[in-house]
Homo-oligomer: A and B are copies of this chain.
Amino acid sequence: MARKPAELSVSRDDILVAAADVLQRNGYEATTMKDIAAAVNLTAASLYHHFRNKDALLLAVLEAGIALVGNQIEPIAASDLPPADKLRQMIRAHVLGLTQHTAIGAAMVFEIRSLMGLKPLPDTASDADRKAYADFSTRREAFFVRRDRFEQLFRQVIREGVEMGVFRGVDVGIFTKTMLGAHNWVGVWYRPMGRLSGEEIAEMMADSFLRSLKPE
C-alpha cells in the first residue's frame, strides 16, 4: 500500500512542467489533480507532498511563467540601449520565450483568471490554514505585481521612444496592450514544428511593431 517502483522519484519541477502541459490542453478548472498526477506517473494523493493544493500548483506554474519571460526581458529593459533597439529585443525575447515554452506561456494567458477567481477562505479555517493562505496570498500578490511591472517595462520603452521622437506619437497604453495581446496570442496558435521557427516569428512581430512606431 505504498511506494513507487524506482525510476528516480519525481521532482517538484517535473510536476510543474507536466502540469503546465496539461493545463494548456484542458484549462485549470477542467484539469483534475489526477490528470496532472498521471502525467508524471503519480497518484493524485502524491501531488500533495509537493504542493499544498491545486491552487498552489497553479500559482507555481504561473510564477514559473512570469519568471520565464521576466528573467529575459528585465535585463534588456534595464540596459541603456536606444529605445528602438531595446524594444525590438524585448519583443523578440518575449515572443521567442513564449514559443519555446508554449505550455507555460498559454497558462500565463488563460489561467490567470483562475488565479484571480480563487475562493477566499471560509470563516471556519483553522489557524494553520489561515497561515498557509496568508503565505499563498502574499505570493499571489507578488505574482500580480511582477506581472504589472512586466507590462510597465514595455510601456516605458515606448513612452521613452515617443518622448525622444524616435517613435511616432502613439497612445502608449493602447499600443502596449495591442502589442502584448498579439504576443500572448502566440501561445495559442504557435505549433513547434510549423512552417516558421519561433525566431522567425519573433523577428517578424518585432519588425511589424517597430514599423508601426516609425515617425511619419
CB–CB A125/B121 < 8 A: yes
Quick one: CB contact mask for A119-156 with B, threshold 8 Å, 1 for yes? 11111111101100110010000000000000000000
Kindly report how many copies of this chain are found in the complex they form together. Answer: 4
Q: In the complex, which of the residues B133, B170, B181, B205 contacts A204, with contact meaning CB atoms closer than 8 Å?
A: B170
Per the bound structure, the CA–CA distance linking A179 and B209 in Å amounts to 11
CB–CB B182/A179 < 8 A: yes
* Interface 9-residue window, one of A68-76, A82-90, A185-193: A185-193
Write the chain B residue with the least CB distance to A110.
B110
CB–CB B174/A185 < 8 A: no
Interface centre among A121, A186, A209 (most CB of B within 10 A): A121
CB distance from A29 to the nearest CB of B (A): 3
CB–CB A122/B129 < 8 A: yes
> Is there a chain B Cβ closer than 8 Å to A177's Cβ?
yes
Per the bound structure, the CA–CA distance linking A140 and B122 in Å amounts to 16
Per the bound structure, the CA–CA distance linking A184 and B173 in Å amounts to 16
Write the chain B residue with the least CB distance to A212.
B212
> Is there a chain B Cβ closer than 8 Å to A8's Cβ?
no
Per the bound structure, the CA–CA distance linking A212 and B170 in Å amounts to 13
CB–CB B123/A129 < 8 A: yes
In the complex, 27 of the A-B residue pairs with CB atoms within 8 angstroms, ordered by the A residue number, are A26-B117, A27-B29, A30-B117, A55-B124, A119-B129, A120-B127, A122-B124, A122-B125, A122-B129, A125-B125, A168-B211, A171-B196, A174-B201, A177-B186, A177-B189, A178-B204, A181-B181, A181-B182, A181-B183, A181-B186, A181-B188, A184-B185, A185-B185, A208-B212, A211-B212, A211-B214, A212-B212
